[in-house]
């Protein structure tokens, strides 16, 4: 599987290609519980839907429940339903979302926000495949695949006693991790193209996109809100710049990267990225430590090894910044072995604090 799109999910980076394979396997399996972890806006719900849509359960319901958005006292009756007279106001019985998802998939988003009492009730659904509605005594059997998602570190929450350990292990049968967008920057141009096409479909005078310098700057940005933030930016740009191509100066302040501003324009103005242009862009991500026509250049005293060493340091620091210090990811971005990167970091005595840019 090497397509750049799988069930509406865009990604050509190796991690996304691996994710597509995992989704395919999980879909075929059809029953195992899945726990999706990733920062907000990385596409957790999209992945959950894809797992359902490709599974034998696809002709039944995909039922999403956002555990953080529903107040605690309502979440129990939303999930488990209630019998007539269960509480004041329960004038007729209500089917809960777990029962509604029978033979389909239940997507429990923000599972880390679920209160302990409900965690215990959910554990029973996972263990016994049955539950009682609020106010009911008779157990109801269900055949439901549970796909949970969270942006929290559930393992840490277990260690702190804030999440049930037994439930964590029941949920984490197949862990799926979606990396943040800053750790897969090669997906950005593709996502930009995808959202421009999507948003431009219904427009007479659609937004035409970004020029090379704007795109370069977006690639250097940290994307705390991940793909959702990128989608919002393109929506914003489509409104302000319909029928136009946006350059670096037109980007909102926070998306403008000073390194990009100092880089010269690429040799070709074509919107189409050729392999050569991509390589050229990569080399222009960093301004050289010495200007090309300095005194040393004229006198022929350029210290080639020192300059190459500096450039190597800049590349490593840049990769560590955009991966927030994740050395495995940084090595992947740089196409280096992890051990090679670790040796270079040690030799260069680079500090270990990459969280803030």
Ligand X SMILES: Nc1ncnc2c1ncn2[C@@H]1O[C@H](COP(=O)(O)OP(=O)(O)OP(=O)(O)O)[C@@H](O)[C@H]1O
Q: Can you give the binding site for ligand X, defined by CB under 6 A?
A: 9-11, 38, 40-46, 109, 151, 191, 194, 227-228, 231
What is the DSSP code (8-state) at residue 266? P
Which one, of 7, 93, 97, lies nearest residue 50 by Cα?
7
Strand (E) or helix (H) holding 94: strand 94-95
Encoding tokens for residue 160? 């702190």
Q: Which is nearer to ligand X, 225 or 247 (CB)?
A: 225
Q: How far is the CB of 259 from ligand X (least distance, A)?
A: 26
What is the DSSP code (8-state) at residue 134? B
Q: How far is the CB of 188 from ligand X (least distance, A)?
A: 11
Q: Which sign does the torsion angle of CA 353, 341, 308, 215 carry? A: negative
Alpha-carbon span 210 to 330, nearest angstrom: 26
Alpha-carbon span 89 to 78, nearest angstrom: 15
Alpha-carbon span 148 to 105, nearest angstrom: 10
Q: How far is the CB of 69 from ligand X (least distance, A)?
A: 9
Q: Which is nearer to ligand X, 284 or 323 (CB)?
A: 323
Other beta carbons within 10 angstroms of residue 55's beta carbon come to: 22
Q: How far is the CB of 298 from ligand X (least distance, A)?
A: 49
Q: Which is nearer to ligand X, 46 or 319 (CB)?
A: 46
Which one, of 196, 211, 163, 202, lies nearest residue 67 by Cα?
163
Q: Which is nearer to ligand X, 41 or 133 (CB)?
A: 41
| Triad 122, 126, 128: Cα angle to 5° | 110
Residue nearest to ligand X (CB): 43
Q: How far is CA 153 from CA 15, 140, 149, 224, in A?
A: 20, 32, 11, 17
Q: How far is the CB of 226 from ligand X (least distance, A)?
A: 7
Q: Which is nearer to ligand X, 102 or 228 (CB)?
A: 228
Encoding tokens for residue 139? 């157990």
Q: How far is the CB of 229 from ligand X (least distance, A)?
A: 9
Q: Which is nearer to ligand X, 10 or 315 (CB)?
A: 10
Other beta carbons within 10 angstroms of residue 248's beta carbon come to: 21
Alpha-carbon span 227 to 181, nearest angstrom: 7
Q: How far is the CB of 111 from ligand X (least distance, A)?
A: 11
Q: Which is nearer to ligand X, 102 or 193 (CB)?
A: 193
């Amino acid at each position: 599987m090497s397509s750049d799109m799988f069930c509406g999910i865009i990604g050509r980076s190796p991690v996304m290609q691996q994710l597509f394979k995992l989704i395919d396997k999980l879909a075929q399996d059809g029953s195992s519980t899945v726990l999706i972890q990733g920062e907000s806006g990385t596409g957790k719900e999209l992945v959950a839907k894809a797992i359902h849509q490709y599974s034998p359960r696809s002709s039944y319901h995909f039922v999403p429940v956002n555990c953080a958005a529903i107040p605690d006292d309502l979440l129990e009756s939303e999930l488990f339903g209630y019998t007539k007279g269960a509480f004041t106001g329960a004038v007729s019985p209500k089917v809960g979302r777990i029962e509604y998802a029978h033979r389909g998939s239940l997507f429990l988003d923000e599972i880390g926000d679920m209160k302990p009492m409900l965690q215990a009730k959910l554990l029973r659904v996972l263990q016994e495949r049955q539950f009682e509605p609020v106010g009911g005594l008779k157990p109801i059997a269900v055949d439901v695949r549970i796909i949970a998602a969270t942006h929290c570190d559930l393992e840490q929450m277990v260690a702190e006693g804030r999440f049930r350990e037994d439930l964590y292990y029941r949920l984490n049968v197949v862990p799926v991790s979606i990396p943040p967008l800053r750790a897969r920057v090669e997906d950005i141009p593709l996502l930009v193209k995808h959202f421009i096409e999507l948003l431009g479909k219904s427009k007479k005078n659609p937004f035409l996109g970004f020029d090379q310098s704007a795109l370069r700057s977006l690639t250097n940005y940290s994307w705390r809100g991940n793909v959702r933030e990128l989608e919002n930016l393109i929506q914003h740009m489509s409104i302000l710049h319909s029928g136009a191509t946006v350059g670096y100066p037109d980007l909102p302040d926070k998306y403008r990267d000073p390194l990009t501003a100092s880089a010269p324009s690429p040799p070709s103005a074509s919107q189409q990225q050729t392999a050569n242009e991509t390589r050229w862009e990569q080399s222009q991500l960093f301004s050289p430590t010495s200007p090309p026509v300095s005194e040393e250049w004229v006198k022929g005293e350029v210290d080639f090894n020192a300059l190459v060493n500096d450039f190597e340091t800049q590349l490593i620091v840049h990769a560590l910044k955009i991966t927030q210090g994740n050395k495995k990811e940084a090595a992947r971005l740089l196409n280096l072995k992890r051990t090679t990167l670790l040796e270079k970091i040690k030799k260069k005595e680079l500090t270990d604090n990459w969280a803030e840019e």
